[in-house]
Amino acid sequence: MTSYSKTKTSYYRRLYVAFLIDSGTNTVQGLLDATEMPKRTLQDTLKALSDLDILIESRGGTKSASYKVESWGAIDKKWIENNLQHVKGVLQYP
């Protein structure tokens, strides 16, 4: 099995979470179910999306929050779609 750097896995995690949000898996529980990551990691990932100029909007209250990607910035969403299996493989997601 190939080992990837923490930088690469962190970057891909952010891309994958943004992709999920944009694809309709846009609630905290939905994202937790899809990624199986700890809640704190998800919270940190959501906050870190702005570091990549991926802007998300939070809707609703704390418990019923949902998210929407407002802007992908310089990220090419098509690349993520075309390389989704590779991204998931790096993250060791099924």
pLDDT at 61: 77
User: How much of the chain, in percent, has pLDDT values that exceed 70?
Assistant: 98
Identify the band that residue 1 occupies on the pLDDT scale cut at 50, 70 and 90.
low
What is the fold of 6-90?
Answer: Arc Repressor Mutant, subunit A (1.10.10)
Q: What is the pLDDT of residues 56-85, one digit of tens each?
A: 999 887 777 899 999 999 999 999 999 999
In angstroms, the CA 49 to CA 70 distance is: 11
| Closest C-alpha among 81, 66, 77 to residue 28 | 66
Domain ranges of the chain: 6-90
pTM: 0.93
